[in-house]
Structure 1
């Protein structure tokens, strides 16, 4: 139900202007120009790359369920819209986490397992996390905090308890988070086990788990817990631009034209246009006058403000002299301006 509610909420935000798989690409974190631009146009930052491993069949199953309940409508052109509006109180931050909340959990999971075994005088155990990167990180972390000291062990327990108690988690989310942990004498529960215990679908268990992690990392970002704060290292993505866009903008700032960048990077001109539109959305200092004159900008803005439509074709029909790239660029720039 939670996953279906989230889909309904995302589709609602598209305002009937996108198609069947738009929400799927958003949740997966597809780095196409359309998906990235939609993130800004429809204020979808919290949900970008929220579920990078989401299977298409699970997504379609939820869509079919919403259709059967007549909550959404998909027309013959695969345009999708809601018939019922929903208000969800959720605290996701997909745009800045990009799935790295799972890396955070692997760290805290291995730290808890290591501390639990140390407290129970178990010197040898099979790590629940198998990633070399996480092993190295936690090994250095444990040495840094001097985890063998009894006072440190007690402080770790106190701070971890404070974390679980003070983060604004529902009882369901708290249970899922704790049951996923592994200690000296208990293995973390699987999605299936949690689904059976809690009587909700596996996809809902996973989504509640992600929701709890997003709340936890933001809590740790703002609260001083000296033994737990280091686990957040490099979890948040400070640069919101995609790597490919950054390369394009560097060349643009060095005087290359779009055509030259396209040839140099061996990318389609449309891809370079996507990069520029993305940059215009997330850096208000970017001057779009090099690509579209003030008069055309004014005309496009007036159409959008009076009609309230973010579809390119209707805008093109009213401002024929503007190219589709120029329309997309102005839309991106307007959305960036609205966040000022």
Structure 2
């Protein structure tokens, strides 16, 4: 799996409507009003915040490879996917990421799993003292609590976890390579988890590609572990998955703004109360609109203007704010973003 493949999938969703930076912001998980609207409007939530620390140079290298192979073109800052690129994107199939709901918390799940495996392995070897794989106190306490809830012997606990992992990996449908990555990253009593460099040498794949494979596999493992029926089928993994999924769609700051908005304060009043810029509050309001099917858009835009913009979007398949602004100069960018946010999911 290559970064360029993921960028191609995102670009295909935004075809002819957004710049390359829009894809970069999605992968990094930028919490701006525009990006939060884009991920919902273009259905790219699975890729949100996949690589928070993605370097500009790494992203640029992947983009150049797509351009050189004739997959994408860029004109006036807007990216379009060529017919060759569309065929390639289709052949790639669907990736099984869930960046929107995990946003980096998948690593917490894996650290819990690694520490539990290490602990059970050490106890099974009658070693009550060892150096834990992580110094995170919260992770350590979580694993202790999981162990205390296990009403079986140490040997049975280790065996039960091994059986759960085998069943869970089968349920995920991940590839052999992904299963190898997950298993080789684990640490036992007499075996340390492999480094990415060791995995690279062993598989012949680049570290960057392996890390994407690992990330997708981890997302799929968490997904089966947090299912309702997993409480019975995968009780240990189900506990490890507790609290990993982010259910609240709003950022903490936006949630505060929403409380004031629900009290019917104006944007200017909210900005004063919160001591934030009006533009920041507008971003918050857009985020609220994106995640609220009953958002009162009539407070900001007349119904006639809403219908006119919606008709323009459907008729000409336009989702670029600048083009909509040219067509409706009397509407602000904020108003246009709200209209797009509240018409998500409708055919265009």
> Shift of residue 108 of structure 1?
0.4
Match of 1:123? 128
8 Å Cα contact 2:120/2:157 also seen in 1: no
Match of 2:291? 282
2: CA distance between counterparts of 1:161 and 1:120? 22
Match of 1:248? 257
Match of 2:57? 57
Secondary structure of the structure 2 residue equivalent to 1:21: helix
Secondary structure of the structure 1 residue equivalent to 2:140: helix
1: CA distance between counterparts of 2:288 and 2:183? 40
> Shift of residue 242 of structure 1?
1.5
Indicate whether 1:199 and 2:204 are aligned: yes
1:154-165 matches, within 5 Å, as: 154-165=159-170
2: CA distance between counterparts of 1:189 and 1:155? 23
Query: Which string of whole-angstrom CA distances, capped at 9 and with x for unpartnered residues, describes residues 192-227 of structure 1?
Result: 111121111111100000000111011112223112
8 Å Cα contact 1:92/1:215 also seen in 2: yes
> Shift of residue 117 of structure 1?
1.4
8 Å Cα contact 1:147/1:153 also seen in 2: no
Match of 2:150? 145
1: CA distance between counterparts of 2:3 and 2:205? 11
Of 312-321 and 192-201, more deviation after overlay is shown by 312-321
Match of 1:98? 103
2: CA distance between counterparts of 1:48 and 1:89? 15
Secondary structure of the structure 1 residue equivalent to 2:80: strand
Secondary structure of the structure 2 residue equivalent to 1:18: coil
8 Å Cα contact 2:123/2:154 also seen in 1: no
Of 255-264 and 17-26, more deviation after overlay is shown by 17-26
> Shift of residue 147 of structure 1?
6.3
> Shift of residue 61 of structure 1?
1.8
Pair 1:150–1:183, CA change in 2 (3 A): closer
Secondary structure of the structure 1 residue equivalent to 2:249: coil
Match of 1:78? 77
Q: What do you get for the CA RMSD once the two structures are aligned?
A: 1.8
2: CA distance between counterparts of 1:317 and 1:4? 33
8 Å Cα contact 1:101/1:214 also seen in 2: yes
Of 107-116 and 142-151, more deviation after overlay is shown by 142-151
Using the size of structure 2 for normalisation, the TM-score is 0.92
Match of 2:26? 26
Query: Which string of whole-angstrom CA distances, capped at 9 and with x for unpartnered residues, describes residues 170-206 of structure 1?
Result: 1111111111111111111111111121111111100
Match of 2:13? 13
8 Å Cα contact 2:124/2:154 also seen in 1: no
- Count matched residues: 337
> Shift of residue 133 of structure 1?
1.7
Could you tell me which runs of 5 or more consecutive residues in structure 1 were left unpaired when the two chains were aligned: none
Correspondence for 1:230 among 239, 244, 252: 239
> Shift of residue 256 of structure 1?
1.2
Indicate whether 1:183 and 2:188 are aligned: yes
Could you tell me which runs of 5 or more consecutive residues in structure 2 were left unpaired when the two chains were aligned: none
Q: Displaced runs of 4+ in structure 1, greater than 6 A?
A: none
Secondary structure of the structure 1 residue equivalent to 2:343: helix
1: CA distance between counterparts of 2:204 and 2:143? 34
2: CA distance between counterparts of 1:277 and 1:3? 29
Indicate whether 1:215 and 2:224 are aligned: no
8 Å Cα contact 1:316/1:324 also seen in 2: yes
Match of 2:68? 68
> Shift of residue 304 of structure 1?
0.6
8 Å Cα contact 2:226/2:242 also seen in 1: no
Query: Which string of whole-angstrom CA distances, capped at 9 and with x for unpartnered residues, describes residues 16-49 of structure 1?
Result: 2222322121111111111111111211111111
Indicate whether 1:330 and 2:330 are aligned: no
Match of 2:282? 273
> Shift of residue 151 of structure 1?
3.4
1: CA distance between counterparts of 2:135 and 2:11? 37
